[in-house]
Amino acid sequence: MKQADVTLFHPLQDRIREILLPSQVLQDRIRQVAQQISADYAGQEIVLLCVLKGAMMFTADLMRHLEPHVVLDFVAVSSYGSATSTSGVVRIQKDVEEQIAGRHVLVVEDIVDTGLTLHYLLANLRLRNPASLKVCCLLDKPDRRRVEVHVDYLGFAIEDRFVIGYGLDFDEHFRNLGYIGIMEEDFV
Ligand code: PRP
């Protein structure tokens, strides 16, 4: 196990069943995705819209490998529900600061699960008339989808397991892990 895959101390560490995506696997795939984005947006400016909080680490690593000019912005959305499931009611808690009309917007998400968050956010952003609106998502759980959303750039499609780490949390724990892990079923 590499250093980046080790949690030096975490009170809930024994609740992590296994490592699903080690840090090196994440970083290799992120570099590939960034190359594809760089090719597609060559010569254009990208408004990179990080969806807080979960996509923070992914956005930071992705943008390191992007060649086009990047303008970074953040949006925070909350979906009401329990610690592990989405209710379907979404609210923008922190709005985009950039004017996105006529610009190329790339939304960066950590995970698309039911699709409700992204569906709502994309509909909201479309009303502001961006020149283009695309989605880059690290993880996709297709089995969980409740509404159709199109992901233009995807890191990994995964099974329906409760994943944490690399920005993704369980009740605000584990965001700081360098890898994606799976929680013990009986804990969720
Ligand atoms: C997660 C994730 C997505 C959303 C996906 O955010 O970052 O935004 O859930 O779920 P959905 O497809 O079922 O809508 P969360 O609400 O956990 O907030 P966080 O990013 O701040 O942890």
Catalytic residues: 113
Q: From the CA of 185, how far away is ligand 1's center (Å)?
A: 19
pTM of the model: 0.92
Q: From the CA of 48, how far away is ligand 1's center (Å)?
A: 18
Does any ligand 1 atom lie closer than 6 A to the CB of residue 53?
yes
Q: DSSP letter at 172?
A: T
CB 38 within 8 A of CB 68: yes
| pLDDT tens, per residue, the chain with 188 residues | 665 676 656 777 788 889 999 999 999 999 999 999 999 999 999 999 999 999 999 999 999 999 999 999 999 998 766 555 666 678 999 999 999 999 999 999 999 999 999 999 999 999 999 999 999 999 999 999 999 999 999 999 999 999 999 999 998 999 999 999 999 876 55
Q: From the CA of 43, how far away is ligand 1's center (Å)?
A: 32
Q: In the CATH scheme, what architecture does the domain 23-161 have?
A: 3-Layer(aba) Sandwich (3.40)
Atom of ligand 1 nearest to the CA of 145: 12
Q: Please report, for residues 86, 90, 136, 162, the alpha-carbon distance to residue 185 in angstroms, rounded to integers and kept in the order given.
A: 18, 26, 28, 8
List all residues 6 or more positions away from 79 whose beta carbon is below 8 Å from its beta carbon: 86, 87, 88, 89, 90, 116, 117
Q: Return the number of other C-beta atoms located less than 10 Å from residue 188's C-beta.
A: 15
